[in-house]
Structure 1
Amino acid sequence: MNYRASHSNAASNSFRILEIVARLGTGTTAKEITNALQMPQATAYRILNSLVADEYLVRTSNLRGFALGHALSGLVTAATPPTVPTAARTVIEKFRSGNRFAVHLIMFRNASLRIADEDPDYPLHSVFEMLRYPHCSAAGKLMLAELADSAPPFPKGPLRQLTRHTITDRGQLEEQLAEIRIKGEASEINELEQGSASLALPVRLPNEPVGAALCLSSPAERFAIICEHSEAARDLTSRLAPLLF
């Protein structure tokens, strides 16, 4: 078998394995996968290890099964943006009209970020990186801070460094997440992309988990201007929550 045919077959088998895990759900075992696909164990284990390494699958806590991973969630997120009610879009657009910085609505679903309403005048940059590496963005850190008490906030292994300012030390990141929970906001300057900055404020109903982030973004040198509008943005989040949830 030539390289092209072999590569195509491996890709096909990878998709078949992901489909089985999606259908059977969290905890799907290697035996269940090999039985369902009639695939040799050696082939299945080789592909499973590769999918885990690339974060398309993760091992369950007991190490006996598998679940869909963060990388796959990011791909699905990018392809299927959530529906935002017209009333919510109208409120956001009114806020945008009086400011000269980006205003984005990012929703949280299944421990992943979902772009719900992107500012048409100031489109998001580094979208793939934001979706896949939440520790690098303000919205992502806000989500990780919310998840910290109920689930592992970030995957095992080294944290990806996108710029020289990206936090890659787990202890330092955990301290920042604790501070975010106290302050009720998250920020990043030059961490996701050199030259950019963002402030993320939680959108939530009273006594409910944070379900989205209202993100104010601008060039890094204008971050202080964003902060001057934080109170007005908080007022917007309180009006958005009942429209979204």
Structure 2
Amino acid sequence: MSKKRSDYYIQSIKRAVQILNSFTLKEDELGVTELSERLNLHKSTIHRVLVTLEDESLVIKNQITQKYRLGIKLFELGHIVQDQMEIRAYALPIMKELAQKTEESIDLNILSDGKRVSIEKIESPHDVRRIIQLGKSLPLYCGGSGKALLAFLPDEEIDKVLHKEELIPLGPNTITNPVQLKEHLKEIRRKGYATSFEERILGSASIAAPILNYRGEVIASLSISGPITRFSKQKISKFVSLLKEAVSEISTSFGYPKTIIKF
């Protein structure tokens, strides 16, 4: 007999989510007694969950009323989601145009806990093409998309990533020497784009460039990828030019001054 989805629930997490979902715009502060009655849970259970949520900044306690309201951490998490949604909304029409001009796969990646994650894609119309997996965490140190993100992070952030990540070879041309990789990242930053030829996947090539916000911070990367056999020198030159135009347009939407983009 197959298990139901609810069989996998962790009861304490479910209760925490139920408590968070109890807050509304009209009822932005709730006490232990109110939550206990509303959720039909013992006061001690409600209190334990609230203490845990408070320590994680997911709720905050009003010391005057002794009631709780949603915490700043939820605002931060919501802001991340909003940024992702905005990036996708701004990038998608430009990605479609880029896909039509290149006839290769296009994908949009963001940073997530020292990795890169694809959040939007348009696959090539060719039968032989790179298959992009949305939502999958991949390393930053190899592949065009990852390197375009990593190279434009502050130097101290780059050091943290390289210290945490084991530089294992994933493809024939993966750079696994930290010193060489840092020099390579400097070159990417100077050029404004990253290339990858069989660094992560045998027979695959990609070109990627960063999307910057109004503070000049990298918030995403956009890449063109496909079989290495279709990435001739002539096509690479064309792809780089088209990609730079695309990321410049998206970056401008996020407040990065178009007149000073140094690509």
For Structure 1 versus Structure 2, the TM-score category normalised by the shorter chain is 0.5 to 0.7
Number of the residue aligned with 2:151: 145
- Offset at residue 191 of structure 1 (A): 0.6
| TM-score, structure 1 normalization | 0.60
1:215 to 201, 212, 223: 223
The answer for unaligned runs of 5 or more in structure 2 is: 1-9, 14-51, 57-82, 256-263
SS of equivalent residue, structure 1 residue 181: helix
Determine if contact 1:101/1:226 at 8 Å carries over to the other structure: no
Give the aligned residue type for 1:241: S
How far residue 133 of structure 1 moved from its aligned partner, in angstroms, is 2.1
Contact map agreement 1:199 1:227 (CA 8 A) in 2: no
The answer as to 2:234 corresponding to 1:231 is no
- Picking from 94, 99, 102, the partner of 1:99 is 102
Identity of matched residues, %? 24
Question: C-alpha separation between the residues in 1 aligned to 2:245 and 2:165?
Answer: 38
Shift of 1:153: 3.1
Q: Are residues 1:113 and 2:116 paired?
A: yes
Structure 2: which amino acid aligns with 1:132? Answer: L
Which segment drifts farther, 225-234 or 155-164?
155-164
Per-residue CA deviations over 1:138-160 (Å, capped at 9, x if unaligned) read 11112221225132232346411
Structure-2 separation of matches of 1:156 and 1:114: 17
What are the superposed Cα offsets for residues 7-44 of structure 1, whole Å, 9 maximum, x if unpaired?
A: xxxxx9xx9xxxxx99966xxxxxxxxxxxxxxxxxxx
Residue correspondence of structure 1 range 64-143 to structure 2 within 5 A: 82-83=84-85, 84-121=87-124, 125=131, 127=133, 131-143=137-149
Any conservation in 2 of the 1:118–1:124 contact (CA below 8 Å)? no
AA matched with 1:171: V
Q: Check 1:97–1:206 CA distance in 2 against 1; reply closer, same or farther (3 A cut).
A: same
What displacement does 1:98 show?
2.5
Give 1:29's aligned residue. none
For residues 145-202 of structure 1, give each alpha carbon's deviation from its aligned partner in whole angstroms, at most 9, with x where no partner exists: 1225132232346411112221111111111011111111111100110000101112
Structure 1 residue runs of 5 or longer lacking an equivalent are 1-11, 16-20, 26-80
Matched residue pairs, number?
183
Structure 1 residue 92: deviation in Å?
1.8
Question: What is the RMSD of the two structures over their aligned residues, measured on CA atoms?
Answer: 4.0
